Amino acid sequence: MGTNLRWLDALTTALYMAAVIAIGLKFSRRQTSTEAYFVARRSVPAWAMGISLFATLISSVTFVAYPGSAYAGDWSLLVPGFMVVLVLALVGSVIIPFYRRAVGMSAYEYFGRRFGRLARVYSAVAFSLGHFSKMGFVFYLLALTIDRMTGWGVEWLIVLVGVVTVFYTLVGGLEAVIWNDVLQGLILWLGIFVCLGFLLFLPPGGPAAVLGLAWDEGKISLGDPAPDLSRPTILVLAIYGFFWYLQKYGADQTVVQRYLVARNDRQALRGVALGAVLCVPVWTLFMLIGSCTWAFYKLTGEALPATVTKADQVFPHFLATHIPPGLAGVFVASLLAAAMSTLSSDLNCLAVVGVEDFYRVLRPQAGDRQRLRVGRWIVGICGAVAVAMALLLSRTQGSALSLWFTISAIVAVGLAGLFLLAFLSTRAHARGAWVGIAATILFTAWATLTYGEERMLDLGRWNYPWHEYTIGAAGHLVLLAVGYLASLLIPPAAPPDESLRRMTFWGWLEQRRAGRALEGAAART
């Protein structure tokens, strides 16, 4: 495709960027309160909320790293994605209606009501740090791919996308984010099918030859079924995925905020289910793209240039050399859509956390207009910091997907465990929770410093023995177990408050039964 993006592709990309800016401007007039800016007046239809959630979870990590992983190996890193269905089946019908009653705008309000202000601050900070790291990876992989296709400078791309994303998020609030997500989700599907079409039909022998070769060579395998925790086996990846999505759906503001924008509980459940149903096939299709890319180069005998040194670079090279004018622009737009939907959601959620969990606590007398102004400032500042992080991360070496999984597991620092402790135990209290938090921070630091061949700290037989993907899951379990035991052994700071029982699963269950009993009695009369 050369070093310059052709005019037809540039026009396609420009039209997409103009569309997202127009959507932001369209909703800017409606952003007159924090209720509108942060939860879209709780009036978003289920289908739009579901597509928004889907678009948020699919990022440029998916576009580049999933094909790169499948090209280099197999589909083993798809296993964590399957766990989203299991998590939703287990907890979706409970967590979603519970959160819609337990919090106003921020998920971490729940932790504050359950374990006090410090727990709220801790969980909000842990969320914010984790999402800052994610935003840097999203920008990095976006720039990696588009620069490979267009020859534009990585820094210029990061700044351009950052400015446009921050603009429509800042002026249009969550409504602009959600309706841009709908547009971006549709473009994303189009980009996938464009790429698959060329990968399947360009090589000699067509789809049968491509898929047959990939299957025969084990490129569509889900990995090693051995019960070994020291390697990235199916078991390790399933454990990682289960706790990752338990954290996402139980303690992540980007997802919890989607529960709150729906019109009622049923709409929220439908929207979240739709988002999960859309994600799994897209993850699978991106793995298929990676396998088909491998088969393409095997069947055609085409040599890769010396500049392509990592698996993550092969698919972008294919796009740059084999997708014709116009259609390449569609893919660039879909890549931008994937990245910008994730980034805009993160920016709005960070503003919610900043306003509700910090500013409002520090300045309870502040009016709604002041909180709205602070929220917009936070969007702008966080966007600038994310751009700066992306510029640093652009020099990162190694597999992008493995690096992403490792970082995301470490910076989670037990939020799923804290949620389980708060939600499942009526005996857990603030002091016990803090002991659990301290334990998981120490555990995570030890595991992070001592795992792997290039460990930062070598303790010999006391090094972390399992694979790095297990660190996050083990950290959640450490917090849950230590926090529960500490709550049994350490007396609470104040006498038990019976009202806190309503903030647990058992209290929610009792309230639901009581409500159904009242409904039944009313129906009989």
Confidence band of 402 (pLDDT split at 50, 70, 90): low
Burial 197-226 (b: 16+ CB within 10 A, else e): ebbbeebeeeeeebbebbeeeebbbbbbee
Euclidean distance between CA atoms 104 and 253, whole angstroms: 12
What digits encode the pLDDT tens for the residues 17-49? 899 999 999 999 889 899 999 988 888 999 999
Euclidean distance between CA atoms 414 and 480, whole angstroms: 8
What digits encode the pLDDT tens for the residues 100-125? 888 888 999 999 999 999 999 989 98
* pTM metric for this prediction: 0.86
Per DSSP, the three-state class of 305 is coil
What digits encode the pLDDT tens for the residues 152-208? 777 788 888 889 999 999 999 999 999 998 988 888 888 888 889 999 999 999 999
Nearest to 304 by CA among 288, 321, 283, 290: 321
Nearest to 412 by CA among 343, 472, 474, 481: 472
Which residues belong to CATH 1.20.1730.10 in the chain? 7-397
Nearest to 432 by CA among 355, 520, 516, 496: 496
Q: Are 136 and 383 in contact (CB under 8 A)?
A: no
Per DSSP, the three-state class of 169 is helix
CATH superfamily membership of 7-397: Sodium/glucose cotransporter (1.20.1730.10)
Euclidean distance between CA atoms 416 and 414, whole angstroms: 5
% of the chain surpassing 70 pLDDT: 93
| Pair of tokens at residue 248 | 């996402």
